[in-house]
Chains A and B, each alone.
Chain A
């Protein structure tokens, strides 16, 4: 930017009554070096026409920390300079005239330990409605180790989840029960039984299956647990079904979760729409009760999808890892829902790695150390099928739940056959990968060969062979591979 030196007004002039530009109040400090303990947020700021970009970015820092629209003398009763968020860098967004990346540092004392609600009340509180901005998006955050350590993190984590399920070395397989609404408890349990017996590890309630006239929650839980136990005895394998405990109140959710626990379920599920505080409460409940906690990201696309306004899903993924869920839907790349490959890769790394290096091509703007916080299992769900197994394994790796809802239940010879097709395709692909074969290119051959001894797989490949969802992504990283960006 044109202004590279602090223009903050100092001394008693700073506190003269009246209105002063944010960039002169101490919210623009281009020579500030963020401390290791600072929370850093990266915003994409699109100022209204005629608004100075630096001033707009300083305003974001101000409105998400201590500022109000005018000078107040009561600042002088505090260590105000410490509490002011400081915008220390403003870059034009590549190929996007009128938008700017603002790097803003927040002192750790601004936040309550272990509270996503408190963190978000500052960072995405008032500031998103601020009039001088046309649009605002929270792109990424650097969470200091000192803050990460105040959160529980995933109740179970990938490693312990695998140990409890006794499943290693391959993605887990799941399916969402369909139709998502309308089945009675008894019929619902039938789908669960067939899918689990056929070879899936998990089945799943959909986000909006709670307790409706066609099926109250107790009916679902009872029949589902009959199905889980029957399938376990039929296969000698641990099985599970995500019982959605999302409800109107915290008391209702605890009641449902307790009932799932009493019935011997190993996993329960919640929706993102229940809110950050409820999610953290359920994460603590799950840790206390040896329960895996699945999160369905219902509602996220209302604010994650558009590139110029909202919150990036990579930030939601970071918050949810802190908040303590064990599973999170993080995209499929090849399926029916939004997902640019590089951006999705960034989400998966945030869930699963102990350290994320800055990687602009994946949309990851900061080094992030997770300080041994448990790993969060990403879930790939929505429009995927057995014929894509080589691509899924290549793009998403091994520590992921692959959920084939339609791809299981829509099989021409029934749900068990659909489940078996998926499991055989997966095991054949893992076997080939481990043998060192070029499974990405030889994928179709590997599947065809496995189908020679597995009719259900043959049929699945025939039905869905041409199904793809190739649409342009609305959310890809804005990144120009030049050395100047890679600071």
Chain B
């Protein structure tokens, strides 16, 4: 399967040139660019690990692409996403977020059902990858 979180998951994986253009878009808007990674892509996993702090003061896409390359060297077997954060009044939140790196195999999710009264079902979503401990989830890739 393919995790379709983020802005561009339905397109072919972005090239570095395409990623740099999106980063430049964020910088031109005055947003802080952030790199995050995870090996638990559960749809409710809000807090991916941060690759350093959001780059509030970097104004050059090349600098961010270098950080991305460094992050990929260490965590290339995991999901990595880039987001643009807008601190202006009334937003103070993420304005764009897209995946820029994926594990080679995406095992996806299992849906568990617990049957309750009145045909009600309690659903739980489990990431197959998260069966293993953190850091070992995509180790054989």
Contact = CB atoms under 8 A, between A and B. Distances in A.
Interface of A: 159, 162-163, 166, 168-170, 199, 222, 225-226, 229-230, 232-238, 262-264, 354, 372, 375, 420, 423-424, 427-428, 430-431, 434-436, 450, 453-454
B125 A233 contact: yes
B122 to A, nearest CB: 8
Given A159-B91, A168-B97, A427 B7 contact: yes
Contacts of B97: 166, 168-169
Given A236-B4, A237-B5, A237-B43, A168 B83 contact: yes
A225 B123 CA distance: 9
Contact of B120 (A222, A235, A430): A222
B69 interface: no
Nearest to B94: A168
Dominant secondary structure at the A interface: helix
B129 to A, nearest CB: 11
Interface stretch (B51-59, B104-112, B133-141): B104-112
Contacts, number: 105
Given A237-B5, A434-B21, 11 more contacts: A169-B97, A199-B10, A222-B121, A225-B123, A236-B3, A262-B120, A424-B11, A427-B7, A431-B22, A435-B21, A435-B25
Interface string B76-98: 00000001100001111111111
Nearest to B29: A434
A441 to B, nearest CB: 19
B8 A235 contact: no
A169 B22 CA distance: 11
Contacts of B111: 229-230, 232-233
B119 interface: yes
A427 B109 contact: no
A233 B109 contact: yes
Contacts of A354: 89-90
B32 to A, nearest CB: 14
B42 interface: yes
A160 B43 CA distance: 16
A428 to B, nearest CB: 6
Nearest to A424: B10
Interface string B1-36: 101110111111010001001100100000000000
A169 B90 contact: no
Given A226-B121, A236-B108, A434 B25 contact: yes
A457 to B, nearest CB: 10
Contacts of B95: 168-169
12 contacts: A168-B97, A229-B125, A234-B109, A236-B1, A236-B4, A236-B42, A237-B5, A238-B44, A427-B11, A431-B18, A450-B11, A453-B12
B83 A235 contact: no
A427 B94 contact: no
Contacts of A230: 111
A236 B96 contact: no
A170 B7 contact: yes
A222 B118 CA distance: 10
Interface in B115-132: 119-121, 123, 125
Contacts of B10: 199, 420, 423-424, 427, 454
Nearest to A434: B25
Contacts of B91: 159
B92 A159 contact: yes
